[in-house]
Amino acid sequence: MTDASDDLVNDHLDELQALRGHAWVFGDHIAADVILPPAHHDRSPSEAGAFVMAGVDPTFARAIEAGDFIVAGLEFATGTARTITAQAVYTAGIAAVIARSFGRTFLQAATNIGLPALAIEETGAIKPGDRLRVDIESRKIANLSSGDRYIIRNLTEESVEVLRAGGLSAYTRHQRER
């Protein structure tokens, strides 16, 4: 017998196993203040989502479709990262951020809210607009446009469980209810 919290976890897990969207590709060293300019740090997460990547592409937040992916190189979201940066990316509709490496604050904040921040080596092989399928459980990303496959290298079993639950709050609540 399952309870409502099990259904919530299972629903989020089904979503994680079926992440599909288009790649929006950026380079190395995209600072947190470029992802969400400081003028928008005091906004609510849902309002801040309208300004994601405004420091690189002011049209980005209007152009993406829910479920798309940000793909970047080294050191995504480093610098003066705040939790609002990850929250804004999440509320903008981004399904996951894929990069070679992340700033620690962004990585932790993203996991805490259920936004997959996935490290792979081959981000340079992904082109703008490529269609991707991300499978958190198998720790693999398929580039449906090129046929390439990439291994996600930064997910521990615990981080998969947190993502599966929909974030740290949901994970903690589920653990208490057991």
The pLDDT tens digits of the residues spanning 28-84 come to: 999 999 999 999 999 999 999 999 999 999 999 999 999 999 999 999 999 976 899
Whole-structure pTM value? 0.90
Contact in structure between 110 and 90 (CB atoms under 8 Å): yes
The tokens of 10 are what?
Answer: 């299972």
Q: pLDDT at position 136, please?
A: 94
Q: Name 21's Cβ contacts closer than 8 Å, sequence gap at least 6.
A: 65, 67, 68, 69, 95, 131, 132
Distances, alpha carbon 163 to alpha carbons 10, 82, 95, in Å: 11, 20, 12
Q: How confident is the model at residue 5 (pLDDT cuts 50, 70, 90)?
A: very low
Mean pLDDT of 82-103: 97
Mean pLDDT of 100-110: 96
Q: CA Rg, the chain, in Å?
A: 16
Domain coverage including residue 59: 4-177
* Residue scoring higher pLDDT (178 or 62): 62
Domain count, the chain: 1
Contact in structure between 34 and 73 (CB atoms under 8 Å): no
Q: How confident is the model at residue 18 (pLDDT cuts 50, 70, 90)?
A: confident
Task: Phi first, then psi: give them for residue 27, nearest 5 degrees.
Answer: -90, -155
Domain of 119, CATH number, reads 3.20.19.10
Answer yes or no: is pLDDT of 15 > 70.
Answer: no
